Amino acid sequence: MYSAAFVNKRLYSAFWKCIDYFYPPHCAGCGAFAYRFCPECRKQIVYFSQKNVCQVCGSPVSQGQCQTCLHIKFSIKSIKSLGVYNQSLRKAIHSLKFNRNLALGDEFSAELAELVLSTTWPVDLIVPVPASRKRRSERGYNQAEIIAFPLALLLKLPFSTKSLVKVGETRSQIGLSLAERINNIQNAFSADPKYVNKKNVLLVDDVSTTGATLNACAQALISAGAQSVYGVTIAKAILNTEHSDDLTQISF
């Protein structure tokens, strides 16, 4: 477990600014020189109005909860995302995830911190959604950690990669229905009570679609004694069929 007491956010950001100085970046959205993510690409982000999203999964709704969350009792209390997973934001996340554009974690940390601070969540531990050993070995890093660490520094909260681990390989969630996603990821994570017992945990990831992965992580954390679990992501994918599953197929 790491604490902001050991690393200052200004020093962390200064490190990336030095990297930018010696190796000038190109915008992850459009390739513009000398930007990690340029102002024009940032204008393309469709930010969520936090008043008009489901208070559980973060999907756009007029008020209250979406139909899925009215039928299913999730372990995670609430998930919030900055914007819709499309256009320049999608490109930025792909650049972070697949092209080792690690400075983007620092780039989005201030906005994520503002989003978390706009809530009344009683967070006292930040945990990235873990990658499997195989996926981490292939990629060389876990993008959720790259996002979560500078966020923890800004919020001055403990950060831990030992609290939660992925205990097995699962098939890709892409193209699966909500019921299939939940069953696919069920029991895929394990949490350590030594780190999470009686803690209010904030899970961090790059993208949320149905919230199934974040919820599976929350189940493991609560089973290990966590008091409550919340989630935050840079983006949320909006699917036309997201809430049309046969809810009777879903089991926890």
CATH number at residue 15: 3.40.50
Digits of tens for pLDDT over the chain (252 positions)?
554 445 678 889 889 999 999 999 999 999 999 999 999 999 999 999 888 999 999 999 988 889 888 888 899 999 999 999 999 999 999 999 999 999 999 999 999 999 999 999 999 999 999 998 888 888 999 999 999 999 999 999 999 999 999 997 765 666 666 677 777 777 899 999 999 999 999 999 999 998 999 999 999 999 999 999 999 999 999 876 444 344 333 333
Tokens describing residue 135: 């996926």
Say if 117 falls within a structural domain.
yes
Say if 4 falls within a structural domain.
no
Residues 6+ apart with CB under 8 A from 136: 142
Range of the domain at 16: 9-249
Among residues 99, 108, 129, 120, the alpha carbon closest in space to that of 37 is found at 108
DSSP string over 166-188? E-S-----TT--HHHHHHHHTT-
Say if 3 falls within a structural domain.
no
Say if 137 falls within a structural domain.
yes
Say if 71 falls within a structural domain.
yes
The pLDDT of residue 71 is: 85
3-state secondary structure of 86: coil
* Contact between 161 and 129 (Cβ < 8 Å): no
Angle ∠(101,106,111) on CA atoms, nearest 5: 125
Burial 41-75 (b: 16+ CB within 10 A, else e): bbebbeebeeeebbbbbbbebeeeebebbeebebb
Say if 118 falls within a structural domain.
yes
Say if 100 falls within a structural domain.
yes
Say if 93 falls within a structural domain.
yes
- Give how many domains the chain has, as a whole number: 1
* Contact between 129 and 146 (Cβ < 8 Å): no
The pLDDT of residue 105 is: 96
